[in-house]
């Protein structure tokens, strides 16, 4: 049912009907099968090679027939930067996993933004949040004009039916839906919970590996883009568009997922995070987490991410005479974290699968008292961190929690207590207290 092509940012071509792709040109006088040719630009027409992204879609009806009059729909929990909730104090913050709603909500209706930063209109920054879906988007379609969506299933699979093909994703996998690509989200397991990052800035891309070289981390060949799949379905439905932070809907008389063939380098994709090949400390010390960056949205500052998507996968820890968990630190960038499964070494308890934390720019954080107690005594033998998958959305911009985040029932109001049992070890002797 789902089939994929491999590679990252390739020039793909795919047709659901043989001969549907025009040969050797993009916009012939008449397209095969009477299809309409439509270009979807993911970058300025003039963007340099490497950054220039666009695809040609051959569809049953052009998108202008999808866009009747759009009417503003009701406000949602899906917030867009700039947006600041009143009364947010500076604090390290942590939340338990949010519960699924007890009423039916589609993927789009169920998005709850936790933090946002930058400015969607300025094409800078991101938002981080969750989806808590309990209903298929049967006659509901959606596209996001404000940014690309990075979707991380945490509980329950999703079937992301896009106009460029279908993506099936389970916990442990991610998918990316580019700005402007129409979709609906179906729930093979009836409900689905996961994390969502909306990237307003430059398209996510593979980070520079620098001295690591041409291999390791995420490999281009492990990214999967769906083959063309279309619906020739004439029935009433609804298209919702997120544009400039607002939501607008229009009625349609046919499915907008009607692309029979397409070619180009702007398309949705998925990636299995278990394919990531981590590189780490082989002798001593805990390196910076940037070694675990799997995708980045570069900013105008060289080497600095508007958004770095960093994962903490299963791996061996072998460093000798080293405090192995993350160190105490203050970061110029801000860190939103989530946990897909297992436990995170800096927070052996309290940070639960489906939960979240926010360690904002220049706010101190690090391993909790329990992690420190065990890691300072653990033998320096090789240890495998197994059955664990945490991630971080790291951005150069400070993140602002939403009203939803500040009032969520699972907000751990005593989070900072996880450090309060850290003992004073200094006692004037070189060995310190035992
Ligand atoms: O704060 C965190 O838990 C994330 C993190 C992990 C790490 O190994 C080093 C730095 C860092 O911010
Ligand atoms: Fe950190």
DSSP symbols for 401-430: E-HHHHH-TTB-TTGGGGGTTPPP---SST
**359 marked among binding-site residues:** no
Evaluate: CB of 365 within 6 angstroms of ligand 1. Answer: yes
Residue nearest to atom 12 of ligand 1 (CA): 289
Tell me the sheet residues that pair with 193.
Answer: 132, 155
Confidence of residue 218 (pLDDT cuts 50, 70, 90): very high
Tell me the sheet residues that pair with 245.
Answer: none
- Please tell me the pTM assigned to this model: 0.98
Confidence of residue 1 (pLDDT cuts 50, 70, 90): low
What are the DSSP E strand ranges found in 179-289? Answer: 183-186, 192-199, 224-226, 237-243, 246-252, 259-264, 269-272
Task: Dump pLDDT digits (tens) for 260-300.
Answer: 999 999 999 999 999 999 999 999 999 999 999 999 999 99
Q: Which of 66, 233, 263, 286 is catalytic?
A: 286
254 is catalytic: no
Atom of ligand 1 nearest to the CA of 292: 8
| Equal CATH topology for 4-63+70-273 and 278-419 | yes
Contact between residue 390 and residue 343 where contact means Cβ atoms under 8 Å apart: no
What's the CATH superfamily of 278-419?
Answer: Jelly Rolls (2.60.120.10)
pLDDT higher than 90, residue 341: yes
Evaluate: CB of 179 within 6 angstroms of ligand 1. Answer: no
> In whole angstroms, what is the distance from residue 228 CA to residue 262 CA?
7
Evaluate: CB of 392 within 6 angstroms of ligand 1. Answer: yes
Task: Dump pLDDT digits (tens) for 59-114.
Answer: 999 999 986 789 999 878 999 999 999 888 899 999 999 999 999 999 999 999 99
**344 marked among binding-site residues:** yes
Q: What is the pLDDT of residue 125?
A: 98
Q: Which ipTM was obtained for this model?
A: 0.99
**2, 153, 163, 165 from 160: Cα distances, Å:** 10, 11, 10, 8
Q: Which CATH architecture has domain 4-63+70-273?
A: Sandwich (2.60)
């Amino acid at each position: 049912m789902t089939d994929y092509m491999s590679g990252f940012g390739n020039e793909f071509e795919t047709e659901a009907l043989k001969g549907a792709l025009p040969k050797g040109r993009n916009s012939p006088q008449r397209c095969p099968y009477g299809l309409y040719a439509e270009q979807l630009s993911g970058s300025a027409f003039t963007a340099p090679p490497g950054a220039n992204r666009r695809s040609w879609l051959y569809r049953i009806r052009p998108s202008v027939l999808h866009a009747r009059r759009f009417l503003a729909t009701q406000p949602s929990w899906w917030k867009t930067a700039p947006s600041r909730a009143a009364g947010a104090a500076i604090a390290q913050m942590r939340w338990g996993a949010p519960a699924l709603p007890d009423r039916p909500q589609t993927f789009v209706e169920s998005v709850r933004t936790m933090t946002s930063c930058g400015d969607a209109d300025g094409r800078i920054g991101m938002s981080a949040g969750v989806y808590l879906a309990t209903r298929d988007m049967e006659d509901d379609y959606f596209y996001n004009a404000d940014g690309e969506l990075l979707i991380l299933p945490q509980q329950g699979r999703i079937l992301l039916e896009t106009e460029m093909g279908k993506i099936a994703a389970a916990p442990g996998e991610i998918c990316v839906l580019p700005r402007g690509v129409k979709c609906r989200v179906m729930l093979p397991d009836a409900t689905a919970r996961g994390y969502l990052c909306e990237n307003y800035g430059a398209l996510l891309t593979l980070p520079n590996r620098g001295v690591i070289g041409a291999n390791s981390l995420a490999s281009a060949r492990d990214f999967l883009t769906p083959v063309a799949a279309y619906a020739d379905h004439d029935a009433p439905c609804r298209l919702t568009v997120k544009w400039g932070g607002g939501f607008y809907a229009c009625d349609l008389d046919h499915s907008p997922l009607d692309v029979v063939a397409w070619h180009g380098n702007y398309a949705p994709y998925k990636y299995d995070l278990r394919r990531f090949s981590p590189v780490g400390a082989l002798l001593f010390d805990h390196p910076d987490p940037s070694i675990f960056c799997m995708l980045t949205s570069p900013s105008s500052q060289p080497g600095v991410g508007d958004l770095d998507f960093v994962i903490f996968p299963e791996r061996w820890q072998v460093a000798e005479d080293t405090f192995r968990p993350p160190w105490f630190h203050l970061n110029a960038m801000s860190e939103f974290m989530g946990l897909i499964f297992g436990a995170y070494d800096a927070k052996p308890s309290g940070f639960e699968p489906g939960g979240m934390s926010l360690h904002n720019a220049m706010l101190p954080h690090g391993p909790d008292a329990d992690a420190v107690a065990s890691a300072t005594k653990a033998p320096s033998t090789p240890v495998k961190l197994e059955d664990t998958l945490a991630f971080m959305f790291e951005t150069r911009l400070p993140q602002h929690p939403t009203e939803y985040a500040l009032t969520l029932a699972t907000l751990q109001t005593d989070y900072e207590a996880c450090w309060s049992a850290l003992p004073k070890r200094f006692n004037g002797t070189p060995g310190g207290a035992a």
